Amino acid sequence: MTMALAGEDDPFKDPSLAGTQTPLSQQDHGDRVAGTTLAVGRNASLTLGTDSLIVLDEGLLETRSANCCGISLTPGKNKTTRSIPFFNILWAEHSEDGEIVIHYAHAESKHAVRPAIISYELEQKEREYTDAWIASLLDRAYGPSQRRKRIKVLVNPFGGKGKAQKLYHRRIAPIFAAAQCELDVERTQYNGHAVEIAQNINTEAYDVIACCSGDGVPHEVFNGLGRKDDAARALARIAVAQLPCGSGNALSLNMNGTNSPSLAALAVVKGLRTPLDLVSITQGDKRTLSFLSQSVGIVAETDLATEHLRWMGSARFTWGFFVRLVGKTIYPADIAAMVEVDNKDAIRDVYSAESSKPPPSYDDRPVPGTETRLPNLKWGTVNDPLPSEWELVPHDKLGNFYAGNMAYMSPDANFFPASLPSDGCIDLIRIRGDIKRLTAIGTLLAIAEHKFFDLDHVDYQKISAYRIIPKNQPDGYISIDGERVPFEPFQAEVHRGLGTVLSRSGHMYEAKGV
Ligand SMILES: Nc1ncnc2c1ncn2[C@@H]1O[C@H](COP(=O)(O)OP(=O)(O)OP(=O)(O)O)[C@@H](O)[C@H]1O
């Protein structure tokens, strides 16, 4: 019943197809004719719509089956059609015994998907068109995203209060398998294990390292890749992804736009390679890489010194922040920075210029050679004299020093709405510690209401390097990507697009911008 469905009154007619019914196979696959619609069986068809696969099946009405050909329909609903967004299509194949089998991620709820299958027996005359039609479906389903990614999966068995293993097997692995990804799964055995795994990985053998963990394991993976003899190549070739299974899941929130393991798995399957700025931190004689944030003062202390409040769940951070804000705690330091964009209007312009670009269709960075280690430090280390271009400015009443490379720091905290994955900058927030209590409380509320960026007392700049020297405090907290480091001066330098992640857009974070 080829094309018999596109009648005037047909609810299933896709207006976007009007007048554009050029057989896809003629456009894309030589001279074999297969339209956007594939007839499957006597009373069913599959059509490539604007952004979804449209399934029309008269049989659905008759049977009202809860699981007819893999399609779940609510009994009693008079529907013979349904659409499956191309984004949810995981795979499609033409089996040897003449069936078309389509694997997709079925939305169980707003927060979870699970793999499901539609399969139909093909009529003899449709068989020859099917391969071209499947190729068109997969083109739409994947766009420029790589298919059948080769994924090294790292599972932190202690991540997310010990749930990561179960989440991987129940929610993540089935999606990867249905999408025909090549998987190599390993459990991390001890703290620092992911550094070693990444350091020893064969750069050419994997496309992705996906961490079923919080943000600690991705931090280790970036650092392990950074230690390789071909560090720059490995960081450019292997994308680091997170399947959110920890207590802090910022990487997934920013790149996948979700805290849900199964939705994140789908986002990774469909993710576009995206260059990510990485930040070299030098402290003492150590050089490490940071992908997420550095904080000195209130945020570091709230994050690291409130372990005893874990029972509070996510309220712990808000409470810890509130107590210090109201207490007008100050964290004095001297700071020198290479400022790239120094005011909020100009920052908005930078952000809009990037967000208005079309999504890139490929990763256009040159791939570094096999002997390319980490880039040299343009500004030296924290142990070198302060670069002559920099000026050390005393911040005697500093309350919050927070440098962010991504937007979301936690699900309800889009602290750095203007941040961009590869603008060569880290966004820096500074707030005085002696602001009025009422203003302080307003600041906290403003984060949730997306008004934080605009507050006058929130100093927000884009910088490419800095040095911070805490002073007048015997001890305190410094956090790099959520991990505590010694309370000593450190220096940071951004390397534009040194790392790689997978994102939905290819160039932006999944957070509301400015
Ligand atoms: N088998 C293991 N035993 C002990 N520590 C481990 C193991 N595997 C990984 N780790 C460590 O666990 C730390 C936390 O990892 P994760 O990335 O899951 O972040 P998190 O969100 O901070 O964790 P959590 O959910 O446990 O609070 C990392 O520093 C990592 O080195």
Overall average pLDDT of the 199-211 stretch: 98
71 pLDDT more than 80: no
Helix/strand/coil for 183: strand
Of residues 293 and 438, the one with the higher pLDDT is 293
Residue nearest to atom 28 of ligand 1 (CA): 216
Separation between Cα atoms, residue 209 and residue 396, nearest integer Å = 42
124 pLDDT more than 70: yes
Separation between Cα atoms, residue 287 and residue 280, nearest integer Å = 6
Set out the domains of the chain in order of their start, with CATH numbers.
Answer: 15-142 (2.30.29.30), 145-270 (3.40.50.10330), 279-357+390-496+506-514 (2.60.200.40)
Helix/strand/coil for 86: helix
Residue 224 Cβ < 6 Å to ligand 1: no
Residue 242 Cβ < 6 Å to ligand 1: no
Measured over the CA atoms of residue 364, residue 365, residue 366 and residue 367, the dihedral's sign is negative
Residue 421 Cβ < 6 Å to ligand 1: no
Average pLDDT of the chain, as a whole number: 87
228 pLDDT more than 90: yes
Separation between Cα atoms, residue 89 and residue 87, nearest integer Å = 6
Give 74 Cα–ligand 1 centroid separation in angstroms.
41
Nearest to 158 by CA among 211, 236, 122: 211
Q: How far is CA 21 from CA 11, 13, 18, 158, 478, in A?
A: 17, 12, 7, 53, 60
Whether residue 283 contacts residue 489, with contact meaning beta carbons closer than 8 Å, is answered with: yes
Overall average pLDDT of the 493-501 stretch: 98
What is the predicted pLDDT for the residue at 64? 45
What is the predicted pLDDT for the residue at 328? 79
User: DSSP assignment, residue 101?
Assistant: E
Residue 158 Cβ < 6 Å to ligand 1: yes
What is the predicted pLDDT for the residue at 73? 45
20 pLDDT more than 80: no
Q: Is 215 a catalytic residue?
A: yes
- Work out the angle at residue 406's Cα, subtended by the Cα atoms of residues 184 and 349, and round it to the nearest 5 degrees: 135
Q: Of all atoms in ligand 1, which is nearest to the CA of residue 246?
A: 25
277 pLDDT more than 50: yes
Q: How far apart are the first and last CA of the chain?
A: 50
What is the predicted pLDDT for the residue at 90? 98
Residue 217 Cβ < 6 Å to ligand 1: yes
What is the predicted pLDDT for the residue at 363? 85
User: DSSP assignment, residue 122?
Assistant: P
Residue 191 Cβ < 6 Å to ligand 1: yes
Give ipTM to 2 decimals.
Answer: 0.96
Overall average pLDDT of the 63-92 stretch: 68
Of residues 27 and 87, the one with the higher pLDDT is 87
Separation between Cα atoms, residue 149 and residue 165, nearest integer Å = 21
Give 201 Cα–ligand 1 centroid separation in angstroms.
20
302 pLDDT more than 90: no
Rounded to the nearest 10 degrees, the angle between the axes of helix 437-448 and helix 315-326 is 160
Overall average pLDDT of the 8-37 stretch: 40
Give 160 Cα–ligand 1 centroid separation in angstroms.
8
Give residue for tokens 């990037």: 354
What is the predicted pLDDT for the residue at 234? 98
207 pLDDT more than 80: yes
Give 111 Cα–ligand 1 centroid separation in angstroms.
24
What is the predicted pLDDT for the residue at 39? 87
Tell me the sheet residues that pair with 236: none
Overall average pLDDT of the 225-251 stretch: 96
Q: Of all atoms in ligand 1, which is nearest to the CA of residue 191?
A: 31
What is the predicted pLDDT for the residue at 72? 46
Q: Which of 14, 57, 207, 215 is catalytic?
A: 215
Overall average pLDDT of the 296-301 stretch: 86
Separation between Cα atoms, residue 289 and residue 194, nearest integer Å = 14
How many CB atoms lie under 10 A from the CB of residue 7?
A: 10
Q: What is the DSSP annotation of 105-138?
A: EEEEETTEEEEEEEEEEPPHHHHHHHHHHHHHHH
Give 212 Cα–ligand 1 centroid separation in angstroms.
10
pLDDT tens digits along 328-379: 789 999 999 999 999 999 999 999 999 999 988 888 898 898 889 999 999 9
17 pLDDT more than 50: no
Overall average pLDDT of the 383-410 stretch: 95
Overall average pLDDT of the 446-453 stretch: 91
